[in-house]
Chain A
Amino acid sequence: MGDRQLKIDAKLIQEEAAQKHGILLSEQRAAELAQEVNRLNSATAEAAKAIDLNDDPTVFTATLRQLKR
């Protein structure tokens, strides 16, 4: 797999919407969502390269307090 970006297509969005969430989407809307979701997922995957084993999301508010000065 490596760095290969996995893309979700409109068909998958449509099927997932119907099967997992009970939502019916038009082809056009599914295509718009696929584009938006692919962009956000790619951006997150790219940013996630900076993640360290010990990065813990629950320390966020504590970090805000620590950085207070």
Chain B
Amino acid sequence: MTELTSMTLAEASVALGRKEVSSVDLVRACLSRVEQVQPRINCFISVEAEEALKAAEYADAELARGERRGALHGIPLAHKDMFYRAGKVSTFGSKIFRNYTPDFTSTIMARLTEARAIYLGSLNMAEFAAGPVGQNDHFGQIRNPWNTEHISGGSSSGSGAAVAARASFGSVGSDTGGSCRLPAGMCGVVGLKPTYGLVSRFGGLARCWTLDCFGPLARTARDVAMILQPIAGYDMHDPTTTRDPVPDYVAALNDDVSGLKVAVPCNHLYPDVDPHLKPLLAAALDNLKDLGCEIVELDIPDPERTYDLTNVINKAEAAALHDEWLRSRPDDYSISVRARLEAGYFIPATRYIQAQRLRPRFLEEFCTAVLSRADVLFTPVTSILVPRIEEANISRSADAPRIIDAVTRCTRWVSYLGLPALSVPCGFSELGLPVGFQLIGRPHNEATMLRLADAYQSVTDWHTRVPPM
């Protein structure tokens, strides 16, 4: 690792603005880091070295002319391989679409290009974004940079691993039931699932249209805010996006956090948490208390109920989405992914619609019970320690279904409610693997969660630790 890749995105952005480094320097440093880490953690599907260097030269020339497009200008980023770029292959981590070349560009990639972020490469992911552990039978297992015998989390597995390994300053992933938050939590970086409808889904692979959210992963909350800024907001191509003005997320980080109310559930989630995680979560709450936050214990509506409803929606939509290929090319899916999709065929349309009809009601109920009494809800990202690859592999371990289920217990139900949620690193287990907490915020109130996480990171140093690679 070089000094350049040890910088956060925010630090690199400042250095670029002061002309202390060039975009070409940053791209070269990242490419060199990719060469080092890729053989060990398999986080990339493709690296676009030549194009990235060319784009960096262009970005540098603009900077030299005083034409800076914003804070991401010249910053190398790598993204989950599922956001379309016209004329470029998007594999979705699948065999079936290994050579899929869309003729249009996703809104998210168009906005990042407009902001002059540099596209470093496409990141490995769970096949079709369907899996929380980072297993990919077609492009190879993604490994945790802190210990390569352990999973990276998924489905934005390469995003979590590459950012933690300092191979990219940040990444955009997708989150349908925890797919940004889980790899962030397991790899020790920050991951955001934005409010449903904040970030355009146009031109990104769908996993489940009514639950999917695209969001950033980066080393710090500030970096996440910087990536979120240009990608948030209305898009005429995605009618679910909000027309409300986009707040200045980075400026909002400077607001005081004292007086913010942080709720901790006293009736659900915590009883199942691994005892090794509890002291780290308690310490994080102490940090927030020291920052002036008020910690309140609250009863929350049963997450199990919304967890099941999330699964009904997810499976029904996924079966509809994959119908053609599940019938015509079943053997081109990995066993684990096909197993996740098949149940959707047998969920009656009436049950699916009932699950959808209950969403506004349960969202209101949750906001009244929890988020009208507190600014955020604090939970673990997962209730278990980061599993080993072998024990999470459905073809090799009888315990894998239980582990996979446990991995998503704290995140999936939040997707049903459409609420924003942020995964923040808060320490390491005895095995040296990251542990994280999750903040769940009010609808469209990403700014408060990011502000709180930024304040937390100003008094802790977990995010500065580098995997021993």
Closest to A23 in B: B327
Q: Out of B197, B327, B347, name the residue touching A64 (CB < 8 Å).
A: B197
15 contacts between A and B (CB under 8 A): A21-B326, A44-B351, A47-B358, A51-B357, A52-B361, A55-B361, A56-B357, A57-B357, A60-B356, A61-B197, A63-B359, A67-B364, A67-B371, A68-B442, A69-B445
In the complex, what's the smallest C-beta–C-beta distance from A5 to chain B, in angstroms? 12
For the complex, is B280 an interface residue (Cβ under 8 Å from A)? no
B346 A44 Cβ-Cβ under 8 A: no
- Whether A64 and B444, one on each chain, are in contact in the complex, defined by CB atoms closer than 8 angstroms, is yes
Question: Given A40-B351, A44-B309, A60-B418, are A67 and B345 neighbors across the interface (CB < 8 Å)?
Answer: no
> Closest CB of chain B to A64's CB: distance in Å?
4
Contacts between the two chains (Cβ within 8 Å), count: 122
Tell whether A1 is near chain B: CB-to-CB under 8 Å: no
Least distance between A55 CB and chain B CB atoms (Å): 4
Would B345 and A16 count as touching, CB distance under 8 A? yes
Q: Known contacts being A64-B195, A65-B244, is A45 close to B346, with CB within 8 Å?
A: no
Beta-carbon nearest neighbor of B355 in chain A:
A44
Give, as a whole number of angstroms, the nearest-CB distance from A49 to chain B. Answer: 10
- In chain A, positions 31-47 with a C-beta closer than 8 Å to chain B are 33-34, 36-37, 39-41, 43-45, 47
Which of B346, B359, B364, B442 contacts A8 (CB under 8 A)?
A: B346
**Contact between B359 and A67 (Cβ–Cβ < 8 Å)?**
no
Choose among B327, B353, B357, B358 the residue that contacts A21 (Cβ–Cβ < 8 A): B327
Report the separation of the CA atoms of residues A37 and B319 in the bound assembly, to the nearest whole angstrom. 13
Say if the beta carbon of B62 comes within 8 Å of chain A. Answer: no
How many Å from the CB of B248 to the closest CB on chain A?
16
With a cutoff of 8 Å between Cβ atoms, the chain B residues found around residue A21 in the complex are 323, 326-327, 345
Nearest B residue (CB) for A57: B356
Secondary structure at the B interface, as helix, strand, loop or mixed, is helix
Q: Is the interface of A mostly helix, strand, loop or mixed?
A: helix
Instruction: Return chain A residues, CB-CB under 8 Å to B348.
Output: 41
- A interface size (C-beta, 8 A): 37
Interface residues of B in 252-304 (CB under 8 A from A): none
Q: Is the CB of A36 within 8 A of B312?
A: no
B432 within 8 A of A: no
Query: Told that A34-B346, A43-B312, A65-B244 touch, could you supply 6 new A-B pairs with CB distance under 8 A?
Result: A25-B342, A44-B309, A51-B361, A61-B197, A63-B363, A69-B445
- Would A65 and B242 be within 8 Å (CB), given that A22-B327, A33-B343, A45-B351 are in contact? yes
User: With a CB–CB cut-off of 8 A, which chain A residues contact B305?
Assistant: 43, 47
Q: Mark B304-345, 1 if CB is under 8 A from A, else 0.
A: 010011011001000000010011001000000000001101
Interface contact B443-A13, CB-CB below 8 Å? no
Contact of B309 among A29, A47, A56 (CB under 8 A): A47
* Contact present for A67 and B347 (CB under 8 Å): no
Chain A residues with CB under 8 A of B445: 68-69
The verdict on A43 contacting B361 (CB below 8 Å), with A13-B346, A33-B343 known, is no
The answer for the CA separation of A67 and B242 in the assembled complex, in Å, is 13
Is there an interface contact between A40 and B244, defined as CB atoms closer than 8 Å? no
Given the interface pairs A48-B354, A65-B443, A67-B364, the reply to whether A41 lies near B359 with Cβ below 8 Å is no
* B110 interface residue per 8 A CB criterion: no
Please report which residues of chain B, range 368-408, place their CB below 8 angstroms from some CB of chain A when the two chains form the complex: 371
- Which A residue's beta carbon lies closest to that of B417? A64
* Interface hub of B240, B309, B342, B355 (most chain A Cβ within 10 A): B342
Cβ–Cβ contact A33 & B346, under 8 A: yes
Q: How far is the CA of A65 from the CA of B210 in the complex (A)?
A: 16
Report the Cα distance A9→B104, complex, angstroms. Answer: 45
Q: Are B308 and A40 in contact (CB under 8 A)?
A: yes
When distances are taken between beta carbons in the complex, the residues of chain A under 8 Å from B87 are none
Across the interface, do A40 and B315 meet the contact criterion of CB distance under 8 Å? yes
**A61 and B308 contacting across the interface, CB-CB below 8 Å:** no
In the bound complex, do residue A50 and residue B346 qualify as a contact, i.e. CB atoms below 8 Å apart? Answer: no
